[in-house]
Chain A
Amino acid sequence: MSATSTASAPGATALPAFRPSMKVPLTLGVLAVIALVFFGLLGPGQTAEMKISDPGDAVAVPALLIPGQVGGIVLGILLLAMAAYSIYLWTRNTRSPRWLPIAFSVVFVFAVLLWIVAGARQPSISLAGLIAGSVTLAVPLVFGSLSGVLCERVGVVNIAIEGQLLGGAFTAALVATVTGSPYVGLLAAAGAGAAVSMVLAVFSIKYLVNQIIVGVVLNVLVSGLTGFLFGTVMAPNKDQFNTPGRLDILPIPLLSDIPIIGPILFKQSVAGYLMYVAVAVVWFGLFKTRWGLRVRAVGEHPQAADTMGINVNATRFWNVTLGGAIAGIGGAVFTLVTIDSFTKEISGGRGFIALAALIFGRWNPIGAFLASLLFGFAYNLQSILGIIGTPVPSQFMAMLPYLVTIFAVAGLVGRSRPPAASGIPYVKG
């Protein structure tokens, strides 16, 4: 049913027959009704307190006090209005603008948050802490999903993000301890991620081995290698090999004192700042430069790219390697920023969440960035939920990113289509 509706869209060439998919308006409408009914009309009666600034901050902002039910109704109506606008556009044969689902999901997430906090045993939460924590948790996800974007855009499926993160985390801890400088560790992590990626590239490009198989196996290999070396080298000699120290937090004066935005944007480690730079650079590179055009051409239609004189397999090789280096930096965040030592399986499946973020973000660096933030938020909320005591079991929050991704690939939330040649080795001829 859903397949035919999307399939007819590209096939229709005559203008009047064009009709955008109604999945987006429909999904928004259903979600808005759910929000209004469950978060609003049936919403909790308590007043939720959302603290915006911490007591120690230079700028003190009073906390937001929102009554659960009223707030839920207001937000529900706001969501309904957005859904109605989307449906209106659909009746006029116009696609909903890009910002609409994003704005919708921000408001929806806020409504969920309000519902959860107002229904908790202790209806108070630090908004600043929640958001700052989400960004911190999202940093490795962003790097991982950027790696995925680069690889898939050039036509190589990267299931090995998990392995790249883990390899980066291990190498960062080891090299930073041995050299005594976390910055050298950060560089080494990039190298380790690139090395993992090169194996992926060699096997999938030179030996034409199925990319998914290589990715899956690489994850196992890196997990085994790091686990083995941790057990034999790191754990017995912790001082010598596993005390990397941390990357300094470098706050930018004045700007870092702005409530909420300050700590997110201007009170980060080098890796945190690098994340913003990387998102911007990858986006600009992919969509505004000659290099990016080539990358996308190779990923969408390698034969055409080859005809135009682009070396398809070399382009793939170097982009996959670059992607691995980026994921490696993300891995370093685990051991140089979040905590200051390596433990077995420290990446704990984050690589797969990064994969989910990349798909949910529709193979776009900025989309992947926003999706990573959302998933980081879900992660953080999950831990906070346990503290404030809510009726929603934390396991369901933890499931959320994965469920959302299944919906995304099944085409229920918008349409996410991978680059056409992603996963297909290119053989000249």
Chain B
Amino acid sequence: MTSKHRSDETQPAESTSEVRAADVALDTAGGALAPAIVPVSSQSGDPGHEQDSVIRKIVMGNGFVSVLAVIVALILGGLLIASTDAAVAKTAGYFFARPGDFLSAAWSAMTKSYIALFQGSVFNPRQGLQPLLETMTVATPLICAGLGVALAFRAGLFNIGAQGQIIISATLGAYVGFAWHLPFGLHLLVVVIMGVLGGAAWGALVGVLKARTGAHEVIVTIMLNYVALFLLDFLLNTAAFRRAGDNSPISPRLDDSATYPILIPGSRLHLGFLVAVLLTYGVWWMLNRSTIGFEFRAVGANPIAARTAGVKVSRATILVMALAGALAAFGGVAQVAGTEKVLTGGIAAQIGFDAITVALLGRSTPWGTFFAGLLFGAFRAGAVQMQIQTGTPIDIVLVVQSLIVLFIAAPPLIRSIFRLEPKKKNKKTKAAPKAALAHASGGAK
């Protein structure tokens, strides 16, 4: 609701800059940059313009398309479930004799899985709304990390490194949580601060490398994810991180004073969820109401123009990556201090990678990311139940998730599936490429 309100306000200003970003992008795409003249440092910044306009396209795209994308992805996922179902395969054998059997078998295979998914994530008669609380718990780190990815997107940076940032923050937070014994209240605060500082430093490292040497953030973040993973693996094999007298790579339980309090008794929902809500509001405020947020968006829209206008681009890059790391770190803290309460090698699960899809589905707006995080949290929470009840592997969630993002990233594709666009316009886009680049904003009107 709030996000809609926001986009109404800012729409005119942003759609004009959209056109400009597209123009700039065209100039670079046309190969105007001569390799010899452009210094190495700014070269990795140069593809930036192009990426920015694409990111903006994702940001500015039509909300309706998102809904359609989710529906199409769910249908495709359902077809996949049906196609591997034993009963469907059996009835397909006599399809021509009794096609009704086949169709009803396929329908029941699809619906059974999705009903189980719904019951595991929102509501079922046995537990009431208990599953919804579980969804919110699972969604908490997804929302935090998703915000980190989204914020970086808005500044034109690809933060693939949420996974590493989560791992580092979870490690630091957990260590403080079980090794130090501080008074109630203060302990949790120290856990959060240490974890967030760790994540921020891990993110800022990327920003510094990018700003100073021009190293592409995608490569650096991917590599740092693995470095963090092996670092955690190493630490869990040292005596300092293991339980006394136990050789398995699992940390002691965090002190009770170091964990988020449970919000609703009988569930796992903890204070971290409220923190995530606050963070969402905070990021929204920063991006839309503060100077620094404006600078970030300016850098994301057009780094060269931002530099001309007096924005310190390298400072903004480092700051954005540090903040993105800090946001992802809240997810890591939520994992160790809220959901799991111990540190294991799989503490980050797939959260950092899911966060990328969450941010993309949320079109990189804070509240969009929030609801996308809830949706993917529901998938994650419900999939466990689905696997138990119907035997459908959890991996179907990955398929649906990635299909959603693919469809959202390419609005023309989903529009052509639903014939949302008049044919004439399609021809026009082929003939006039500028229109193709400004497509998303044009289609939104």
Hey, which bits of chain A sit against chain B, CB under 8 A?
A: 1-4, 6-7, 10-11, 157, 159, 203, 207-210, 212-214, 216-218, 220-221, 223-233, 300-304, 344, 349, 352, 355-356, 359, 393, 395-396, 398-399, 402-403, 405-406, 409-412, 415, 417-418, 420-429
| B237 adjacent to A393 (CB under 8 Å) | yes
Does B93 belong to the interface (CB within 8 Å)? no
Number of A-B contacts (CB under 8 A): 209
Q: Which 10 pairs across A and B sit closest by C-beta, in order of nearness?
A: A224-B398, A231-B393, A227-B395, A7-B39, A303-B31, A3-B41, A221-B402, A207-B410, A395-B234, A224-B399
Cβ of B17 within 8 Å of any chain A Cβ, yes or no, is: no
Q: Is the interface of A mostly helix, strand, loop or mixed?
A: helix
Q: Which of A1, A10, A406, A426 has the most CB of B within 10 A?
A: A406
Q: A210-B409, A224-B396, A409-B220 are in contact. Are A233 and B84 (CB under 8 A)?
A: yes
Q: Is the CB of A210 within 8 A of B51?
A: yes
| 14 additional contacts (CB under 8 A) given A225-B399, A399-B230 | A209-B406, A213-B54, A221-B406, A224-B396, A225-B80, A228-B395, A228-B399, A349-B226, A399-B226, A409-B220, A417-B40, A426-B29, A427-B436, A429-B30
Bound Cα distance A232, B387 (Å): 11
Whether A224 pairs with B47 at a CB distance below 8 angstroms is: no
Tell whether B204 is near chain A: CB-to-CB under 8 Å. no
Q: Is B26 an interface residue (CB 8 A)?
A: yes
Complex Cα distance, B268 from A165, in Å, reads 38
Q: Could you tell me if A221 and B30 are in contact, using CB atoms closer than 8 angstroms?
A: no
Measured in the bound complex, the distance between the Cα atoms of B203 and A404 in whole Å is 19
In chain B, positions 39-54 with a C-beta closer than 8 Å to chain A are 39-41, 43-44, 47, 50-51, 54
Contact check, A207 vs B399: say whether CB atoms are below 8 A apart.
no
List of A residues within 8 angstroms of B160 by Cβ: 212, 216
Closest CB-CB distance, A233 to chain B, in whole Å? 6
Whether A398 contacts B398 in the complex (CB less than 8 A), given A210-B409, A393-B237, comes out as: no
In the bound complex, residues from chain B placing their C-beta under 8 Å from that of A217 are 357, 360, 402, 405-406, 409
Could you show 16 A-B contacts with beta carbons less than 8 Å apart?
A2-B212, A3-B39, A10-B36, A207-B412, A208-B436, A220-B398, A220-B402, A223-B395, A226-B395, A228-B84, A229-B84, A406-B215, A406-B219, A406-B223, A420-B43, A427-B30
Convert B138-163 into 0s and 1s, putting 1 for each residue whose CB lies closer than 8 angstroms to a CB of A: 00000000000000000000101000
Q: Using Cβ atoms and an 8 Å threshold, which residues of chain A touch B391?
A: 232
Name the residue on B nearest A222 (C-beta): B402
Contacts of A427 in B (CB 8 A): 26, 29-30, 433, 436-437
**Complexed CA–CA distance, A210 and B57 (Å):** 10
Q: 1/0 per residue B261-305: CB within 8 Å of A? A: 000000000000000000000000000000000000000000000
Q: How far is the CA of A418 from the CA of B216 in the complex (A)?
A: 10
Cα–Cα distance between A421 and B391 once the two chains are bound (Å) = 46
Q: Which of B198-245 contact A (CB under 8 A)?
A: 209, 212-216, 218-220, 222-224, 226-227, 230-231, 233-234, 237
A220 to B73, CA, bound (A): 14
**Inter-chain contact A3/B410, CB cutoff 8 Å:** no
Instruction: Compute how far the CA of A2 lies from the CA of B214 in the bound complex, rounded to whole angstroms.
Output: 10
Assembled-state Cα–Cα distance A223/B403 (Å): 12
Chain B residues near A216: list those with CB within 8 A: 160, 353, 356
- Asked if B51 contacts A423 (CB within 8 A), the reply is yes
Q: How far is the CB of B368 from chain A (nearest CB, A)?
A: 16
Within the complex, the shortest CB–CB distance from A429 to chain B, in Å, comes to: 5
B55 within 8 A of A: yes
Min Cβ gap B423→A in Å is: 17
A422 CB to nearest B CB, Å? 7
